A and B are shown apart, each in its own frame.
Chain A
Amino acid sequence: MEFTLHIWRQHGAAEHGAFVTYPVRGISPDLSFLEMLDILNEELVGRGEAPIAFDHDCREGICGSCAMVINGDPHGPLPGTTTCQLYMRHFQNATDITVEPWRARAFPVLRDLIVDRSALDSVIQAGGYVSVNTGAAPDAHAITVAKQAADAAFEAAACIGCGACVAACPNGAAMLFTAAKVAQLAIMPQGRPERSRRVIGMVEAMDDAGFGNCTNHYACTEACPKQIPLRFIAQLNREFLSAALSSREFVELARPHAHEE
């Protein structure tokens, strides 16, 4: 197969970027999209040019490293698929393909297709866990969890933190990502005691990190390689509302300057 690739090149965070066109040929349909870029990169190195920088690692759709907007779609045209799991057999031969980095206010470009996604980590740091110290746990069977609940929690926990939902959202919101973690821990009984604090902390962190607001475009779930369902966003909204209404944090939230001294 052969393609004409238009790829975003940007030397550094502070520099301007632009699309550069590269023809590739002799590509087997059984190669993955990233393996095609590997071949192009080897060619570039052979010519003494800097190869295209992109994040990747596991190449099996689980680490969440790979991240490219392909022909306008985060992770490309195939639903429920990460870039590394996208095979060239899914593309029409002899076509043009544009490749660019995630575009979002919270994800500055570092080089070429690589962006800084640490804003996602900061959301988790604000409460995406159960605060249990090592050694404190009771026997694993002390609390039973209905299979349906465990399965639903798993569905949310399957998020790989890639940020495609943010890249797809016209507002650059991280609602689906945040909702997935909030929902997982709200469903599991172990996460219940902290649910109010958690949701308020994470939503605040989301705003602080520069993510936009959700205005119900639902582009996120379509782009999500793990197909995290939209209903978790509804659950996040419910969790937030009830937390804000009932918790002590609400008081602090309503009077944000109360602690200034």
Chain B
Amino acid sequence: MAVADMDIPAFDPRIPDGPLADKWQRHRAEVRLVSPTNKRRYRVIVVGSGLAGAAAAASLAELGYQVDCFTFHDSPRRAHSVAAQGGINAAKNYRNDGDSVERLFRDTLKGGDYRSREANVYRLAEISNQIIDHCVAQGIPFARDYAGYLDNRSFGGAQVARTFYARGQTGQQLLLGAYGALSRQIHGGQVRLHTRTEMLDLVVEDGRATGIISRRLTDGHIEHHGADAVVLASGGYSNIYYLSTNALASNVTATYRAYRRGAWFANPSFTQIHPTCIPAVEDHQSKLTLMSESLRNDGRIWVPQAMHEERRPAEIPEAERDYYLERMYPAYGNLSPRDISSRAAKSVCDQGRGVGPSGHGVYLDFAEAIGRLGRRVINDRYGNLFEMYQRITGEDPWHTPMRIYPAAHYSMGGLWVDYDLMTTVPGLFAIGEANFSDHGANRLGASALMQGLADGYFILPQTLGHFLAARPPLTADHNSAAGAEARAAVEARLARLVAVGGRTPVETFHRRLGELMWEHCGMSRSRAGLQQALVEIPALRDEFWSGICVCGGSAEFNVVLEKAGRVADYLEFAEVMVRDALEREESCGAHFRTEHQTADGEPRREDASFSHVAAWGFRGDGVAAQRAIEPLHFEHLQPAVRNYR
């Protein structure tokens, strides 16, 4: 592995010159183009078929590139994007409530606590409108008003209503739109689809990404696929916490393996904890279900004023309730951003005022809204979410307040990419939740769908051509040596997993890792706790490698082996996350270090020393990862203290 002696990359984001508002248009006019007849001579691998991956694969194929699209799911439509409920932001200003590209840009930059790039965020806001146009043209049934125009709702961190939605199933509808576009290209032969096929390694040849090694899950067949460029759209890694809002198979393997091959990982510790999830009740619970943030438009969050309150919520009079978000953050109230709302919930529960059997819960109450708007309106807006809540908890939110608690939800961290979405490995691109992207230290609601689709439909198809145009198409047998090496490494690792032959379920290690990360690298982090984690993680990893059982071989459909490989990667990646959290001696967005807070418990940013992106490079097994920085420059908007009060 040649990474150990590699130099530190320059981390030049290659942001185009010119005024902020003109950068993207100017860049589009200046990028190199591949001629229409040449495009079909280039092959592009897209790993992932979520919003980002499906949008990119379809759009690249429409342009004429040959595309191979990989997913470990049995169908592209099952990518975890399907679960997004609340909506997607765009600066359409259809409401005439003062929205604009500039305002969406400002809100997103501020929401991210000034830890993202101005130019990227501005471009995202600019493209947001085109996304809505495109998705409507795909026949997606967005919510409409009686005049037939698109309806909007508000999300946290915004004072305008700019969120477009399709009932509580926006992600599903957007994904089915992208899946349709992808299906059309599969039908036309422009995309080769590889379902139930998992990427296990990246092939890097002479410093350039030229392919991947994959495993066909149904029979364990290992294959090397070559390409002129590789795009990772593999989603987020929040289920490193075991209990999270992510799907159970979400994992870090694709990006972590790329990191081991020389792609630097940016801000790995920036993980978002979502304030409105159904609390855990059971030891064997496998997942925390999100209750869309949109519920906070009409639901009011409260806890009893008294500690260890025993009365049922209906018996607690108004005067004895604490609507703590409305009290602490009157300007945004129940729509305060996620990091702030999550920490506030934790702090009232830590005071002993939490509700429910575990004490880890707060009420989300619709009584007032039902009274004000009527049952029909509330049913229209949130009917399916109410039903989902009742299904899971057995309680009826029409009559008793929901109980919610924060849960791990989204990874702002991801592979470092430049303005063109290219990683530090030439030819390797990362899009969607897999890159470190535009959300800084905290993502605002309804902006991940926007970013995934902006990357996939509109940005990557332009910038990838710029990369390819400067290089002739590779021949089919171009990378046999590097490919053979990577393939052998994958096979050796699978054999090692099979050979352990212990008796402990892989699940047990995942659960223990999750508890450890939640405790030490979750909603609040301390130096001592993070240092403790750095001791515990390697110990757990050793136990894993002597204790697991994959119950079968690697040349068969083996679901335990799949999971074992993903958990093994989590056990290594966890250390990178913890180091990142430890080195960032400040609180910003979702990253809250107990040592860095104001007298009233608000996070304290340290702009003088940490106004940068932290990127981590692989230096070899058993060697600590190396940290480097990309300084952030704010020319348009000066970082201010985030104030939602």
Contacts and interface: CB of A to CB of B under 8 A. Distances in A.
Interface of A: 11-13, 28, 30-32, 34-35, 38-39, 41-42, 44-46, 48-51, 53, 55-65, 81, 85, 87, 89, 110-111, 114, 116-118, 120-121, 124-141, 143-147, 150-151, 153-154, 157-158, 160-161, 184-185, 188, 190-191
A125 B457 contact: no
Interface stretch (B407-415, B501-509, B602-610, B637-645): B501-509
B392 to A, nearest CB: 7
A141 B94 contact: yes
A31 B284 contact: yes
B391 A132 contact: no
Given A63-B77, A153-B139, 16 more contacts: A38-B507, A41-B505, A44-B551, A45-B504, A45-B549, A50-B551, A50-B552, A51-B560, A64-B78, A89-B394, A116-B74, A124-B179, A132-B181, A134-B458, A161-B77, A190-B136
A130 B183 contact: no
Interface string B482-519: 00000000000000000000011111100000000000
B242 to A, nearest CB: 12
Contacts, number: 226
A50 B289 CA distance: 29
B141 A190 contact: no
A122 to B, nearest CB: 9
B286 A59 contact: yes
Interface stretch (B110-118, B144-152, B221-229, B295-303): B144-152
B325 interface: no
Given A59-B286, A132-B138, A87 B394 contact: yes
Interface string B456-477: 0110010000000000000000
Given A118-B195, A158-B169, A185 B139 contact: yes
A96 B286 CA distance: 24
B13 to A, nearest CB: 25
A190 B138 contact: yes
A160 B73 CA distance: 14
Interface string B509-545: 0000000000000000000000000000000000000
Given A138-B133, A154-B166, A35 B282 contact: yes
Among A35, A45, A89, A135, max chain B CB count under 10 A is at: A45
State the majority secondary structure of interface residues on A. loop
Among A12, A35, A57, A139, max chain B CB count under 10 A is at: A57
A55 B74 contact: yes
Contacts of A62: 82-83, 169, 172
Contacts of B556: 11-12
Given A38-B286, A65-B74, A144 B141 contact: no
Interface in B236-259: 247-249
Contacts of A190: 136-139
Interface string B13-32: 00000000000000000000
B311 interface: no
A140 B133 contact: yes
B551 A184 contact: no
Nearest to B60: A134
Contacts of B286: 32, 34-35, 38, 59
Contacts of A188: 139, 141
B479 interface: no
A40 to B, nearest CB: 11
A60 B133 contact: no
A141 B75 contact: no
B218 interface: yes
Contacts of B568: none
A164 B203 CA distance: 40
Contact of A57 (B80, B138, B179): B80
Contacts of B458: 134-135
B74 A118 contact: yes
Contact of A125 (B132, B148, B183, B281): B183
Contact of A110 (B137, B218, B247, B388): B218
B355 to A, nearest CB: 17
A194 B371 CA distance: 45
A136 B457 CA distance: 12
